[in-house]
Amino acid sequence: MERDDYLAAIRPRMNEKRYIHTIGVMQTAINLAEKYGANVKSAETAAILHDIAKFSDIDWMKQIVIENGLDHRLVGWGSEILHGPVGAWIAENEFSIKDQDILNSIRFHTTGRANMSTLEKIIFVADMIEPNRTFTGVEKLRDKANEDLDKAMQACIRHSIQFLVKTKQPIYPVSIECYNDCVGKEQ
Ligand code: GDP
Ligand code: FE
Ligand code: FE
Q: What is the pLDDT along the chain (187 residues), one digit of tens a residue?
A: 999 999 999 999 999 999 999 999 999 999 999 999 999 999 999 999 999 999 999 999 999 999 999 999 999 999 999 999 999 999 999 999 999 999 999 999 999 999 999 999 999 999 999 999 999 999 999 999 999 999 999 999 999 999 999 999 999 999 999 999 999 977 6
Cβ–Cβ under 8 Å, residues 44 and 29? yes
The whole-angstrom separation of Cα 142 and Cα 121 is 14
Distance from Cα 41 to the centre of ligand 1, integer Å: 25
| pTM attached to this predicted model | 0.98
What would the pLDDT profile of 75-99 be if each residue is shown by its tens digit? 999 999 999 999 999 999 999 999 9
Distance from Cα 22 to the centre of ligand 3, integer Å: 6
CA-derived radius of gyration, the chain: 15
Please indicate whether residue 114, judged by its CB atom, sits closer than 6 Å to ligand 1.
no
Report CA-CA distances (Å) from 98 to 46, 66, 101, 166.
12, 21, 9, 38
Please indicate whether residue 170, judged by its CB atom, sits closer than 6 Å to ligand 1.
yes
Neighbours of 166 (CB within 10 A): 8
Please indicate whether residue 165, judged by its CB atom, sits closer than 6 Å to ligand 1.
no
Residue 52 DSSP symbol: T
